[in-house]
Amino acid sequence: MSNTVRVTQGYLRGTEDNGILAFKGIPYAAAPIGVHRFKEPTAAPAWEGIRDATEYGPTAPSLPYSPPLDQLIDEPVIEGPDYLNLNVWTPATDAGRRPVLVWIHGGAFANGSGAVSAYDGSRFARDGVVCVTVNYRLGAEGFLQIDGAPANRGLLDQIAALRWVRDNIAAFGGDPEAVTIAGESAGAMSVTTLLTTPQAAGLFRRAIAESGAGHHVQTPTTAAKVTAAVAEELGVEATLAGFTAASPADLLAAQGEVGRKISEAPDPTVWGELATSPMPFQPVIDGAVVAARPIDSLVAGVGCDVDVLIGTNAREAALFLVPNGAIDAVNNDTLAKILALMGADADVVLPVYREAQPSASAGELLVTAVTDWFYRVPAVRVAESRMMHGANTHVYEFGWPSPFFDGRLGACHTVEIAFAFDQLASPASAMIAGVNPPQELADEVHGAWVSFVRGGDPGWPPYGEDRIVRRLNAHSDTVTDPAADQRRIWDGIR
């Protein structure tokens, strides 16, 4: 078994552990600094000799998660300019033409990297799938709208990585014609966006979207407001020259200040759709890379040739409301105001939630409503849109509860990731799932993902008129149209 391969730029030497080969920190594009800053990604330069690929490469610059999220979410920081890199795990560097999984990390388009311990792809490789994890430009560097610079640079990075996979994955025993893209949170939003992006057409056959769907993009008007706010923080003109003159560190600091101001005063008359979104830096509808909201493109039939597995966790929003104590500060007035921000009439919506949770506090009802509005209903809309066109789509809901905060986190945002990767022993898993989470559930979830990557079928019927959903838990079951009343109250709103 050879741990040396040749890719477009030269030779790489990886590591071998228990029959699995790993190649880490491989640059797929030139470092986005200097003349390459705020530009489309360009090919990584070639190298002489054999390049060491035994350690993770640099991670994209980001601000740390705020407490207490920093105690729940793994965030490796590796300094260096060559952060447009990826990692590959494979069982063999032969001509096996195995299916490929390309993982796009989450982190609200402002955090994360392919070096998170739960993203270790060795278990996918063990099961015959070549696994790739990708870094891309984050925050303002990747998503700030700047006149004279390409929009959606972070998405362009992802596309560049997929092209690198197309051109090089055969050297790692992978099949470039059997690629599945997958991601969680912002990674899943990226996946559904790429599903509708012309530049990504033909680069993948299947897609997995965990806790993110097709509603999460900005209008150009809102993006322009963010650009103006960042320029004001920096004290520069809102031009390419102005932003180029700012150091990456200063731009990152300004990015954080703008995000803080939006979250502290989420006024829709000022910030538009960002009043209900924690992501001031996200894909923007630019008419080229993102022609429209992904959900609207899906309704029109785009991406129907790609198999999709999509789903959410039962209590996504608990991650953002329980650890900081916000859940206990919510009263009925606060709940009604937040529902109004989301476009709902509390007098119409709340009776439905209260019937389903008769003893729930206002904070608990908010967890359910925000989970529906931000995560579950958008995922359902993706499935519905594809159902209209007969496209192969499977839907899941992950329900295993984290034990932290006396169980109040429940099946919160991010908790499913280590189960999908079968990495329950990883430090990242321990931070959110605790010790001894059920390996049997990881066997089931990971097995379903592997089955889908191989053949487009995770093991339960596709989503159709009967709205079949697989509920993944300690005792999993397959159900028809779960929480139907809650789904219906968002018709015409979300």
- pLDDT given for residue 50 in this prediction: 98
Q: What is the mean pLDDT of the segment spanning 281-285?
A: 97
pLDDT at 310 over 90: yes
The three-state secondary structure class of 479 is: strand
Between 283 and 2, the more confident residue is 283
> What digits encode the pLDDT tens for the residues 83-101?
999 999 999 999 999 999 9
For residue 2, name the pLDDT band (cuts at 50, 70, 90). confident
> What digits encode the pLDDT tens for the residues 6-64?
999 999 999 999 999 999 999 999 999 999 999 999 999 999 999 999 999 999 999 99
- pLDDT given for residue 135 in this prediction: 98
Q: Are 376 and 384 in contact (CB under 8 A)?
A: no
Q: What is the mean pLDDT of the segment spanning 279-294?
A: 97
Q: Which residues are catalytic?
A: 185, 316, 413
- pLDDT given for residue 126 in this prediction: 98
DSSP H helices, 171-265, are: 186-194, 220-234, 240-245, 248-264
Phi-psi region of 459 (alpha: psi -120 to 50; beta: other; left: phi over 0): left
- Tell me what the pLDDT averaged over the chain comes to: 97
Q: Cα 67 from chain centroid?
A: 21
For residue 281, name the pLDDT band (cuts at 50, 70, 90). very high
Reduced DSSP (H G I as helix, E B as strand, rest coil) percent helix, strand, coil of the chain, to 5: 40, 15, 45
Q: What is the mean pLDDT of the segment spanning 201-229?
A: 97
Q: How far apart are CA 318 and CA 181, in angstroms?
A: 27
- pLDDT given for residue 483 in this prediction: 97
- pLDDT given for residue 188 in this prediction: 98
pLDDT at 225 over 90: yes
Q: What is the mean pLDDT of the segment spanning 69-83?
A: 97
Q: Domains of the chain, with CATH numbers? A: 1-217+284-314+375-401+411-494 (3.40.50.1820), 220-276 (no CATH)
pTM of the model as a whole: 0.98
Q: Are 90 and 172 in contact (CB under 8 A)?
A: yes
For tokens 């979410």, the residue is 73
Burial of 35 (0-12, 13-18, 19+ CB in 10 A): exposed
- Per-residue DSSP letters for 105-122? --STTTS--TT-GGG-TH
pLDDT at 1 over 80: no
> What digits encode the pLDDT tens for the residues 360-385?
999 999 999 999 999 999 999 999 99
